[in-house]
Amino acid sequence: MYIDIEYIKEHGYAIMPNFLSASEVKELQDLCDISPVAMGETWPKDGKTEYLPNLDPSKYMHYWSQNMSEYDIVKKVKDKLKPLADPCFNGDYEQIGGDFKVTNPTSGYMYCHFDTPYRHDRWANDFGEDIKGMQFGIALDKFDNVSGGTRILPGSHKKVYHKTDMDARKHDEEFIRDGITMELEPGGLFCYHSRTMHSTMPNNSNKPRRLMLLLHLWNDPTFRQELQQEEAKLNV
Ligand SMILES: O=C(O)CCC(=O)C(=O)O
């Protein structure tokens, strides 16, 4: 499978339908359905949303599972991703992620953001040529505007944005107007430069919308040490 790095550098994302076979999709769907929740957002109460761990999956609007990388099917998927990740990082990367993101029916959850490392102020407006983080997402259900397929804002990785503005929802209108949905059948893959603005979208279907996300990070030692320091600041 071929990945067009120049396209990703220009537009911030790429889509590859039919990445997994039907049996691989089924294995991941089954694993998703038994994966323990790590944390999730419950339905808003009094206009407020809250993140809680350990509830039954149906109690969340939107949640992410624990990292399921120890399972053979996840290891297999990670191996299958290597030829795509290699050219993004000139072979120098670590496969970090391996969790599921689920939105339940009637979820209205949406949150525009960047992923690691660009979610940290240190790299929030880093426009260096080197890709420091790439997300690979695999649709486990049909992804469209009804089910809440992930939405991304093409080209946003090259424009200045501030987390405070995204958190204050100042870019929601632009994101909805100019963003595109990762329209995919189950087993389809999309990937994005971690600094591309993206969001989970409302699920107006009658079934949970399941996604596997696999973060890949540049393995440069200085960068990784700095990242560790930034992450530690968030955990104090
Ligand atoms: O659930 C999705 O569609 C996207 C997940 C996401 O934005 C994230 O975990 O960074």
Residue-wise DSSP of 148-162: T--EE-TTGGGS---
Structurally, the chain folds into a number of domains equal to 1
For a pocket test of ligand 1, which of 41, 61, 101 has the largest count of ligand atoms closer than 8 A to its C-beta?
101
* Closest-CA residue to 142 (of 176, 181, 183): 183
Nearest Cα residue to atom 1 of ligand 1:
200
In a domain, 40, yes or no: no
**183 in Cβ contact with 137 (< 8 Å):** no
* Closest-CA residue to 127 (of 158, 95, 88, 87): 158
- Ligand 1 pocket: which residues have CB below 6 Å? 101, 115, 150, 198-200, 211, 213
pLDDT of the residue at 44:
87
In a domain, 199, yes or no: yes
**192 in Cβ contact with 134 (< 8 Å):** yes
- Give the pLDDT means over successive 10-residue stretches in the chain (236 positions): 90 97 98 97 86 94 97 98 96 96 96 96 91 97 98 97 94 98 98 98 98 97 96 84
Nearest-atom number in ligand 1 for the CA of 64 is 9
The total of other beta-carbon atoms located within 10 Å of residue 207's CB is 11
CA of 160 to the centre of ligand 1 (A): 21
CA of 198 to the centre of ligand 1 (A): 7
pLDDT of the residue at 194:
97
pLDDT of the residue at 144:
98
Q: What does each C-alpha distance from 48 to 40, 104, 109, 130, 166 come to in angstroms?
A: 14, 18, 12, 38, 17
Nearest Cα residue to atom 10 of ligand 1:
115
Nearest Cα residue to atom 2 of ligand 1:
200
In a domain, 210, yes or no: yes
Instruction: Tell me phi and psi for residue 185, to 5 degrees.
Output: -85, 165
CA 190 – CA 188 distance, rounded (Å): 7
CA of 88 to the centre of ligand 1 (A): 20
Nearest-atom number in ligand 1 for the CA of 115 is 10
CA of 219 to the centre of ligand 1 (A): 23
Give residue 193's domain range: 5-34+60-234
Decide: helix, strand or coil at residue 47. Answer: coil
pLDDT of the residue at 24:
98
Question: What CATH number does residue 139 fall under?
Answer: 2.60.120.620
In a domain, 41, yes or no: no
> How much is the pTM?
0.95
In a domain, 154, yes or no: yes
**215 in Cβ contact with 115 (< 8 Å):** yes
